[in-house]
């Protein structure tokens, strides 16, 4: 942020009175421009038939992570609820129609100022197709999940937790709600010469 | 938003290519200024002794809802997790130190572009005091909760769900996770003359 969005004057970084952290403030009209984390919301669309469970993934047609696989997800919009965001993103990216279940994961990605939420979801039918932001949309059994070609750590974590809960369900349990922090990956320490 | 925060040129409302809703876009530098919901995060700080349970509330020293009672809560900041936000707001507004439990409520307040999260919390001690944004901080038993003087619908909903779960706990249950949509209150229909 370089200029005030209210009066076009250059902004400055300063700690406002009564606050304790630097904000972009306008020395001219005194507007304080707060910046806060964004919600990224998606679903885990599942098709289950004859004892075989498959999860729907989308191959990204946009950066970042073009060509990598993701659960349908995207930024929550104003004027919608978290559930509406999950359903909308699933329709937009995968052309898929889902019956939404409970919230399954809340994943903090603090270093990129994001909180990711994923909802359980049941595909209503097999009438899906890639949206503008997807190259491909496919169903995967657990054995087929492209673990090395997943787009983001939150996708891997959500899928790992999902399949772990499936084991519990076979033993009479049910899906839980899981909260995790995704920590910025550190560079590997250099090997001694 | 009136001016581009990157180049100070006046912005226009337009649907960007490949998008499906109007955004503030800059005709000069082509920046798209997305606006997304904000997270408001708080806790339900509880003190339990000799079978008596009390909940800590803060009397607001700021607008909106100056003088009304609230659970400690506020806007999540960049670079922190949802749990860190809940602990920080509880310290800032109530001077209280808590051991955080599970996420208890997720409340969509779509008409004001907010999602509110409240965490279960146990007060570590009784060493609390109003912060800059609070006039008073007090412990309330269920019978003492000032239901008519609560600041926001999300506070009422969270407290109602909390005390409902307490009944279940006395019957051998446990706290759940609850998701609700707070719908904008409609004006009451006019009485026929």
A176, part of any domain: yes
Q: At residue A186, does pLDDT exceed 70?
A: no
Going by C-alpha positions, the residue among B103, A62, B39 that lies closest to residue A72 is A62
CB contact under 8 A, B8 and A3: yes
pLDDT in tens, A160-176: 999 999 999 999 999 99
Contact B9, B27 (CB under 8 A): yes
In total, how many domains does chain B have?
2
* A164/chain B closest Cα distance in angstroms: 20
Tell me B188's DSSP state.
P
User: Do residue A45 and residue A30 come from a single domain?
Assistant: no
Q: Are residues A147 and A167 in the same domain?
A: yes
pLDDT at A184: 79
Q: Is B190 among the domain residues?
A: no
Rg, C-alpha atoms of chain B: 20
**Contact at CB, B37 and A115, closer than 8 angstroms:** no
Least Cα distance to A109 among A34, A6, A40, A17 occurs for: A40
Residue B183 and residue B153 in contact, taking contact as beta carbons nearer than 8 Å: no
Of A6, A103, A115, the CB nearest to B82: A115
Considering the domain architecture, whether residues B59 and B123 belong to the same structural domain is answered as: yes
Distance (Å) from the alpha carbon of A156 to chain B's nearest alpha carbon: 19
pLDDT tens column, B67-118: 999 999 999 999 999 999 999 999 999 999 999 999 999 999 999 999 999 9
Same domain, B104 and B48: yes
Tokens of A4: 């005030």
Q: Interface pTM (ipTM) of the complex?
A: 0.93
Question: Does B153 lie in the same domain as B124?
Answer: yes
Residue B26's alpha-carbon distances to A7, B32, B34, B36, B150, in angstroms, are 15, 7, 12, 18, 42
Query: What is the average per-residue pLDDT within A133-157?
Result: 97
Same domain, A57 and A149: yes
| Structure tokens given for A164 | 């772990």
**B141 within domain boundaries:** yes
Tell me how far CA of residue B62 lies from CA of B67, B69, B130, B154, in angstroms: 8, 11, 12, 18
Prediction pTM value: 0.94
Chain centre distance of CA A122: 18
Do residues B29 and B88 share a domain? no
Distance linking the first and last C-alpha atoms of chain B: 44
- Given pLDDT bands bounded at 50, 70 and 90, which one contains residue A191? low
DSSP codes of every residue in B137-176: EEEE-GGG--GGGBS-HHHHHHHHHHHHHHHHHHTT----
Q: Of B5, B75, B79, which has the smallest distance from its Cβ to A113's Cβ? A: B79
Higher pLDDT, A186 or A161: A161
Closest residue to B77, CB basis, from A4, A21, A102: A21
Claim to verify: residue A93 and residue A162 sit in the same structural domain: yes
**Range of B24's domain?**
1-35
Q: Which residues of chain B have pLDDT under 70?
A: 185-193
Contacts of B38 in chain A (CB under 8 A): 36
Place of tokens 């995207």: A74
DSSP string, chain A: --B-TTT-PBPEEE--TT--S-EEE-TTT--EE----EEEEEEEEEEEETTEEEEEEEEE-SSSSTT-EE-SEEEPPTT--HHHHHHHHHHHHH---EEEEEEEEEEEEGGGTEEEEEEEEEES-S-----TTEEEEEEE-GGG--GGGBS-HHHHHHHHHHHHHHHHHHTT-----EEEE-PPPPPPPPPP-
Q: Are residues A113 and A166 in the same domain?
A: yes
pLDDT per residue as tens digits for the range A77-113: 999 999 999 999 999 999 999 999 999 999 999 999 9
- For the record, the structure tokens of B186 come out as 């409609």
- Residue A189 — very low, low, confident or very high, per pLDDT cuts 50/70/90? low
**Contacting residues of B for A114, CB less than 8 Å apart:** none
Residue B191 domain flag? no
Residues A46 and A137 occupy one common structural domain: yes
- Structure-token pair, residue A71: 């659960």
| pLDDT of amino acid A107 | 98
Nearest C-alpha neighbor of B52 from the set B121, B173, B129, B144 = B144
How far apart (Å, rounded) are the C-alpha atoms in residues A191 and A15? 43
Tokens of B79: 């670079």
CATH of the domain at B2: 2.20.70.10
Phi, psi of B117, deg, nearest 5: -120, 135
Condensed to tens digits (0 to 9), the pLDDT of residues A26-84 reads 999 999 999 999 999 999 999 999 999 999 999 999 999 999 999 999 999 999 999 99
Please state, in angstroms and rounded to a whole number, the distance separating the CA atoms of residues A59 and B116. 32
**A97, A169: one domain:** yes
How would residue A18 be classed by pLDDT, with cut points 50, 70 and 90? confident
Locate the DSSP E strands across chain B. Answer: 12-14, 23-25, 32-33, 38-49, 52-60, 69-70, 73-75, 98-109, 114-123, 134-140, 178-181
Residues of B in contact with A76 (CB under 8 A): 36-37, 115
| Residue where the block lists tokens 């803060």 | B58
Tell me: do A137 and A176 sit in the same domain.
yes
Question: Which whole number is the average pLDDT over A131-158?
Answer: 97
């Amino acid at each position: 942020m370089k200029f005030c969005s209210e009066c076009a004057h250059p902004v400055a970084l300063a700690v406002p009175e009564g606050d304790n952290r630097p904000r972009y403030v306008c020395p001219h009209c005194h507007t304080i421009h707060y910046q806060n984390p964004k919600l990224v919301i998606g679903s885990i669309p599942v098709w289950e038939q004859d004892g075989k469970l498959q999860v729907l993934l989308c191959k990204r047609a946009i950066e970042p992570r073009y060509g990598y696989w993701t659960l349908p997800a995207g930024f929550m919009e104003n004027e919608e609820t978290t559930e509406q965001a999950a359903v909308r993103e699933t329709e937009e990216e995968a052309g898929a129609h889902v019956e939404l279940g409970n919230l399954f994961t809340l994943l903090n990605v603090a270093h990129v100022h994001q909180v990711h939420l994923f909802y359980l979801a049941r595909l209503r039918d097999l009438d899906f197709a890639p949206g503008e932001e997807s190259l491909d949309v496919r169903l995967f059994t657990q054995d087929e999940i492209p673990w090395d070609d997943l787009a983001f750590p939150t996708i891997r974590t959500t899928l790992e937790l999902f399949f772990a809960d499936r084991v519990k369900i076979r033993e009479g349990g049910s899906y839980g709600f899981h909260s995790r922090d995704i920590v910025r990956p550190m560079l590997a320490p250099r090997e001694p010469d």
